[in-house]
Amino acid sequence: MRNELLRKQQIVEIGQWIYTRGFISSTDGNISYREGDEVLVTAKGLCKGRLTTEDIVKTDLQGNQLAGSREPSGEISMHLEVYNNRPDINGVVHAHPVYATAFAVAGLSIKKPILSEVVLSLGCIPLAEYATPTTPELAVALRDYIPHYNAILLANHGALAYGQTLLEAYYRMETLEHTAHIATIARILGKETVISNENLDKLFAVREKYGIKTPDLRALGCPSTTGSDGSNEIYTVSKSELIQLIQSVLEKTK
């Protein structure tokens, strides 16, 4: 790997950014960089805000350790799943930012086109089904989403963002959290005005011009200017509301 020390220093720096920006707490999160068949990844169980270059380990694309005295992150399978399915990606950041994770806890994706720059960079952000952290389940849950999106919410867990460079992966995580924050406040204010389909077409033309990958997003209905945020959206009804709903359906079918 070329400039390996510089790459490790960049991972250390991004660890400090995600910690100081509150995208993680304690020993949460993990960061990786790929070059060819080699991956540099943060070690297991350390605070990402206080890493040194000694805390970065090297593996191959199957997760076999090639160098480093510590164990690789327990969530490395998620990173390898991205690299093995997206040859254009060289950096992955996983974190638990508060607003993005709140969406993931509420069972909500972010599919409405409310911010033009987010349409350009991320398109929209789907919600992957719940999977147990540190197990291969996590990679499987993400498999269907990775080819089509550049950031994913992980149900009851956090978020994953990736890019052509590690810096781009970090920026995408920051964009995701910023979007979730704005969407939350817009909902508190009571209204989310979406960008029209006509203007979305123009944004996607700009997207192509800048060579932003995942060109099949529109065919997947992303972003969605109508309807809900996605099939995973969770609604809460009280017992009496549920009884009333069932009774009204029974009335109609009499």
Q: Rule CB under 5 A: which residues touch Zn ion?
A: 158
Residue showing the smallest CB distance to Zn ion in the complex: 158
Q: By C-beta, is 16 or 135 nearer to Zn ion?
A: 135
Query: How far apart are the C-alpha atoms of 91 and 39, rounded to whole Å?
Result: 9
Write down the least CB distance from residue 203 to Zn ion, Å. Answer: 31
Write down the least CB distance from residue 94 to Zn ion, Å. Answer: 6
Q: Is 164 exposed, middle or buried (0-12, 13-18, 19+ CB in 10 A)?
A: middle
Q: By C-beta, is 47 or 120 nearer to Zn ion?
A: 47
Write down the least CB distance from residue 206 to Zn ion, Å. Answer: 33
Q: By C-beta, is 177 or 195 nearer to Zn ion?
A: 177
Write down the least CB distance from residue 73 to Zn ion, Å. Answer: 9
Please say whether the beta carbons of 153 and 109 come within 8 A: yes
Write down the least CB distance from residue 26 to Zn ion, Å. Answer: 11
**Selection from 39, 51, 29, 181 nearest residue 114 by Cα:** 181
Identity at 175, one-letter amino acid code: T
Identity at 144, one-letter amino acid code: D
Q: By C-beta, is 158 or 163 nearer to Zn ion?
A: 158
Structure-token pair, residue 251: 């009335």
Residue with tokens 């389940």: 137
Strand 127-128 with 65-67, pairing: unpaired
Q: By C-beta, is 57 or 195 nearer to Zn ion?
A: 57
156 Ramachandran zone, left/alpha/beta (phi>0; psi -120 to 50): left
